Amino acid sequence: MVAKFPQLYLASSSPRRAELLTQIGVQFAVIDADCDETPLPAEAPRDYVQRMARLKANTGSAEMVAQQLPLRPILAADTAVICNARILGKPRDVHDAATMLRLLSGRRHQVLTAVALLIPTPKPQEWLALSKSDVTFRTLSEAEITWYCRTGEPLDKAGSYGIQGYGALFVTALNGSYSGVMGLPICETGRLLKQAGIALMLPTEN
Ligand SMILES: Cc1cn([C@H]2C[C@H](O)[C@@H](COP(=O)(O)OP(=O)(O)OP(=O)(O)O)O2)c(=O)[nH]c1=O
């Protein structure tokens, strides 16, 4: 995504995040924010996603400086699935994906997405938001898990499913933010952008 006059940089390789940001009319350019996503020993899930979102935003900021790009706000996010107190990130391979799906089968889990917004100038500032959603899966058969893993959809997604894809076939209930589960909670992101003074194409308030 290359906007001619970007309002901000999206520090993310997630096509879903770019899609959701486009949905709300933000002009942005994508910047690299590759970092180590290993949770710390005994790290609480909400601390983990918030730390990751901030780390991605800071990595994006360092990249912006290294590439001598014009200084702009940097937005980043992190999504994790929490089930039985375990943090489920993206699977290592199809076997890992199948193990995660067996764990999620017939259960309710939580999806946490943290969003970080870094304003580099004139005075560096950081804003954070957290979206929490509960998602319930129906019971999945082994044949369904095998089929779903073969679609390739689980491989780049936290918890090994995409609510916006075939994964929706497994979801019996969602309490929270659909966009948050997909990787970028729109309402919370809009609020952060507004707090930071980044204009959205919304009607002006009197
Ligand atoms: C649960 C769920 C996750 N996901 C995705 C959102 C995120 O892209 C991904 C979680 O991994 P993240 O590490 O949050 O993000 P990412 O590695 O894809 O991208 P980046 O760090 O560069 O921003 O899982 C869905 O697309 N649908 C879903 O239903």
Digits of tens for pLDDT over the chain (206 positions)? Answer: 556 678 999 999 999 999 999 999 999 999 999 999 999 999 999 999 999 999 999 999 999 999 999 999 999 999 999 999 999 999 999 999 999 999 999 999 999 999 999 998 888 899 999 999 999 999 999 999 999 999 999 999 999 999 999 999 999 999 999 999 999 999 999 999 998 888 776 555 54
Residue 87 placed within a domain = yes
Residue 3 placed within a domain = no
Residue 24 placed within a domain = yes
Residue 1 placed within a domain = no
Residues with catalytic roles: 78
Please state, in angstroms and rounded to a whole number, the distance separating the CA atoms of residues 199 and 186: 14
C-alpha dihedral (53, 125, 178, 200), degrees to nearest 10? -140
What sign results for the dihedral spanned by CA atoms 118, 177, 96, 107? positive
Cβ-contact 51, 130 below 8 angstroms: no
Please state, in angstroms and rounded to a whole number, the distance separating the CA atoms of residues 132 and 93: 26
User: Which protein residues touch ligand 1 with a CB less than 6 Å away?
Assistant: 12-14, 16-17, 33, 37, 56, 78-79, 81, 90, 111, 156-159, 161-164, 167, 181-183
Residue 200 placed within a domain = no
Residue 205 placed within a domain = no
Query: Residue 112's closest CA among 84, 137, 80?
Result: 80
| pLDDT the model gives residue 206 | 46
- The CATH number of whichever domain residue 164 belongs to comes to 3.90.950.10
| Domain enclosing residue 127, as ranges | 8-195
Gap from CA of 160 to ligand 1 centroid (Å): 10
| pLDDT the model gives residue 203 | 53
Gap from CA of 206 to ligand 1 centroid (Å): 37
Residue 202 placed within a domain = no
Gap from CA of 78 to ligand 1 centroid (Å): 7
104 phi/psi in degrees, rounded to 5: -75, -20
Number of domains observed in the structure of the chain: 1
Rg (CA), the chain: 17
Ligand 1, atom 7, lies closest to the CA of: 183
Residue 185 placed within a domain = yes
β-strands 108-119, 74-83 pairing: antiparallel
